[in-house]
Chains A and B, each alone.
Chain A
Amino acid sequence: MRPLVRGSLDLAVKNLRGQPFRSSLLTSLLALLTFSLISGSLLSYGLSNGLRSASSRLGADYMVVPTGYEQKSEGALLSGDPSTFYLDAGTVDQIIKSSDFTKASPQLYIATLDAACCDAPVQLIGFDPKTDFTISPWLTSKLTDQLGQGDIIVGSNINAVSGGELQFFSTNYRVVAKLQQTGMGFDNSVFMNMETAHAAIKDYNRYSPTKLPDRQDLVSVIAVDTAQRYSSAEQMYLNAEYQQDGVQFIASQQLISNLSQSLSAFLSFVTVLLAILLLVSVGTLTIVTLVTLNERKREFAIYRALGSSRSWLTRLILTETAILSIVGATAGIVIFIVLAVSFKTLILQKITLPFVTPGGPTTGAFVIGGFAASLAVSLLAASISSVKASAVADKALRPGGF
């Protein structure tokens, strides 16, 4: 296709400015389309990506939790909902020493209070750095020293940097490291060694009306690995074996498969919605351009009478649509960037499923993709109607054609 001469481009701009209502309506539609395409596809990508490696992120084959606290512990593991629950001391010892497991590492959960005492209500997790195999792999940088008394490691959503301080209850803690984004509860948690966690419990008891047991052997969850790969038979065996000890074995695989089922339904819903939006946009743009053809037939007939070719008319319509779609898609991208940057924390808080924020290059690729899709959709709609434009103009030139 020959490029349009400058005069034709000016003409297209003037035509669009002459119909401000129609132009702004179509621009808004294209802005909405671009915004929905980018945000919908980034949401789907972040959720799929979050789920893909969620199994490895949980790190252990099973999490041993007190019976009756399965829901609470799943909430704490997946979304970091602050919770406080404990295993019986004798059971902890029995599981850690059991030959059923190749690895076992205890963790102690303390929910900080949503009050003036603390910088933010988060889940404090005490862990044993010597036996740990679920938290350390997510450190952004290797710890230079042992995790000392009063030292903490923060999840990626916690607003603190290495070397900074955070206050929980009446104590200031030194941030020594930060975890990578895991897309799960770890992102909203703060980690410390067991000694620091026990000191935090003493602090907690000073502030909270509900007192926690202040024992040195207090444990909330044990992360365990078995020699064999996960099987439901093994899980049933373990649950039966330790039933009288008041514990439940939550299998990471099972947690992921439950999540996967609910997530795939949600992702299908998002995909269908985006497909419907694309179809509606093509349909609306085609209908609007076809309807306006009729009211513009005199204008087109004048162009033809002045010697314009059919292909020139087609190019004019395509140029008008291209301008509208570039302006609309750019507006959609600007709205997306403003809302995504401004409300990032709120969005991440509201997504309670595993979600990994796409990086800069990936986001850029989706933005360019959204822009290209909007441009393609509008040009497709314009091509359908431009085929009819020349015929309408020629018919209008005949006697009685108007």
Chain B
Amino acid sequence: MKNHSRVASGITIVVLGALLALGPQFIFKICSQETATNSFWTARALLGIGGVIVLLGAAMVFVADAQLLIGLSFATFLNGVLAFLIPNLLIGMNTDPNSTCRTTTLPALNIVSILLIIVSGVVGASLLVSAQPFSRRTSTGAVVPR
């Protein structure tokens, strides 16, 4: 992977992670700040997951090793899937279909988490395709490290 592609991917992941963490608090705000609501706890959970994604994205900017990058993008991919599942399935959102939680926050979160899954998936897949395999099989059938 070229350096500028790696840096661009890392920065994109940092931005998307920051949107996941801070979006429900400041940009596409949740409809209720009451602790008894699902929306409140979804926003809290995403604050943590978004923070982890920001750190993973920042690590991708600075780490050049292909195997480490594959691990980082895989971790980002799984966090993206978790970020998608939290508002849709695991914790949920306010049930009123006309509330801002449903009309604004949820669609925005879905778009951000799906973009995150796509970006980390593409980065991981391209690294896997271009990276050297970890081991090879010799003519005698033995598996030896490269």
Tell me which of A27-35, A257-265, A337-345 binds B.
Answer: A337-345
Do B111 and A338 have beta carbons less than 8 Å apart?
A: yes
Do B111 and A345 have beta carbons less than 8 Å apart?
A: no
Residue A159 interfacial (CB < 8 Å): yes
Residue A349 interfacial (CB < 8 Å): yes
B18 to chain A, nearest CB (A): 20
How many Å lie between the Cα of A343 and that of B102 in the bound state?
9
Q: Could you say which of A119, A121, A338, A343 contacts B103, with CB atoms under 8 Å apart?
A: A343
Residue A346 interfacial (CB < 8 Å): yes
Do A342 and B110 have beta carbons less than 8 Å apart?
A: yes
Residue B25 interfacial (CB < 8 Å): no
Residue A120 interfacial (CB < 8 Å): yes
Do A120 and B97 have beta carbons less than 8 Å apart?
A: yes
**Which residues of B lie under 8 Å from residue A338 when comparing CB positions?**
111
Q: Could you say which of B96, B103, B110, B111 contacts A346, with CB atoms under 8 Å apart?
A: B103
Interface size classification for chain A: 10 to 19
Q: Could you say which of B97, B104, B110 contacts A159, with CB atoms under 8 Å apart?
A: B97
Residue B140 interfacial (CB < 8 Å): no
Do B97 and A346 have beta carbons less than 8 Å apart?
A: no
**Which residues of B lie under 8 Å from residue A157 when comparing CB positions?**
98
How many Å lie between the Cα of A120 and that of B103 in the bound state?
13
Given A338-B111, A342-B110, A342-B111, residue A349 in contact with residue B103 (CB < 8 A): yes
A342 to chain B, nearest CB (A): 3
A119 to chain B, nearest CB (A): 7
Contact with A along B101-129 (1 / 0, CB 8 A): 01110011011000000000000000000
Q: Could you say which of B96, B104, B107, B108 contacts A119, with CB atoms under 8 Å apart?
A: B96
Contact with B along A330-356 (1 / 0, CB 8 A): 000000001000110110010000000
How many Å lie between the Cα of A157 and that of B102 in the bound state?
14
For window 70-116 of chain A, which residues contact chain B by CB distance below 8 Å? none
How many Å lie between the Cα of A183 and that of B99 in the bound state?
20
A339 to chain B, nearest CB (A): 8
**Which residues of A lie under 8 Å from residue B98 when comparing CB positions?**
120-121, 157, 159, 345, 349
Contact with B along A292-320 (1 / 0, CB 8 A): 00000000000000000000000000000
How many Å lie between the Cα of A120 and that of B111 in the bound state?
25
How many Å lie between the Cα of A342 and that of B110 in the bound state?
9
How many Å lie between the Cα of A349 and that of B99 in the bound state?
10
How many Å lie between the Cα of A377 and that of B69 in the bound state?
42
Do A345 and B97 have beta carbons less than 8 Å apart?
A: yes
Smallest CB gap from B114: residue in A = A338
**Which residues of B lie under 8 Å from residue A349 when comparing CB positions?**
98, 103
B4 to chain A, nearest CB (A): 10
Contact with A along B36-51 (1 / 0, CB 8 A): 0000000000000000
For window 56-108 of chain B, which residues contact chain A by CB distance below 8 Å? 95-99, 102-104, 107-108
Interface centre among B95, B96, B102, B108 (most CB of A within 10 A): B96
For window 135-176 of chain A, which residues contact chain B by CB distance below 8 Å? 157, 159
Do A342 and B97 have beta carbons less than 8 Å apart?
A: no
Interface centre among A120, A159, A342 (most CB of B within 10 A): A342
Q: Could you say which of B96, B107, B108 contacts A120, with CB atoms under 8 Å apart?
A: B96
Smallest CB gap from B98: residue in A = A120
Q: Which residues of B contact A (CB under 8 A)?
A: 95-99, 102-104, 107-108, 110-111
Supply 6 further A-B pairs (C-beta < 8 A) apart from A120-B97, A343-B103: A119-B95, A342-B107, A343-B104, A345-B98, A346-B107, A349-B98
Q: What are 21 of the A-B contact pairs (CB < 8 Å)?
A: A120-B96, A120-B98, A120-B99, A121-B98, A157-B98, A159-B97, A159-B98, A342-B107, A342-B108, A342-B110, A342-B111, A343-B103, A343-B104, A343-B107, A345-B97, A345-B98, A345-B102, A345-B103, A346-B103, A346-B107, A349-B98
Q: Which residues of A contact B (CB under 8 A)?
A: 119-121, 157, 159, 338, 342-343, 345-346, 349
The 5 closest A-B pairs by CB, nearest first: A342-B107, A346-B103, A159-B97, A345-B103, A120-B96
